[in-house]
Amino acid sequence: MEIKTNELNLDESIKKVLKRMEDDGIIESNTKPRVVDSLIEENVSEEERKEFEGLKSIDIDREQVEYL
């Protein structure tokens, strides 16, 4: 990979390197939403579903989720 530091500033160079690493599968973007397989409802048994329905819950917004 060639980074022309005489043409790019530091931030642009970093972005180029990170983009290449993402494209090559070396790293994953932390901006893409991720869902753990165990949280997908289709993987929940009927027994687990009944248990979950009995649990107390609260509604939270995106900002509150980030703190969890």
Longest Cα–Cα distance in the chain: 62
Tens-of-pLDDT digits for all 68 residues of the chain? 899 989 999 999 999 999 999 999 898 887 776 655 555 566 778 888 888 888 888 888 888 888 77
Tokens linked to 49: 């579903």
Give me the number of domains the chain comprises.
1
3-class SS of residue 46: helix
3-class SS of residue 43: helix
Tokens linked to 55: 């649990």
Residues of the domain holding 56: 10-67
**Is residue 5 one of the residues assigned to a domain?**
no
Tell me what pLDDT residue 44 has: 75
Tell me what pLDDT residue 29 has: 80
**Is residue 1 one of the residues assigned to a domain?**
no
Give the integer Cα–Cα distance in Å for 16 and 68.
Answer: 31
Tell me what pLDDT residue 60 has: 84
Tell me what pLDDT residue 43 has: 72
**Is residue 4 one of the residues assigned to a domain?**
no
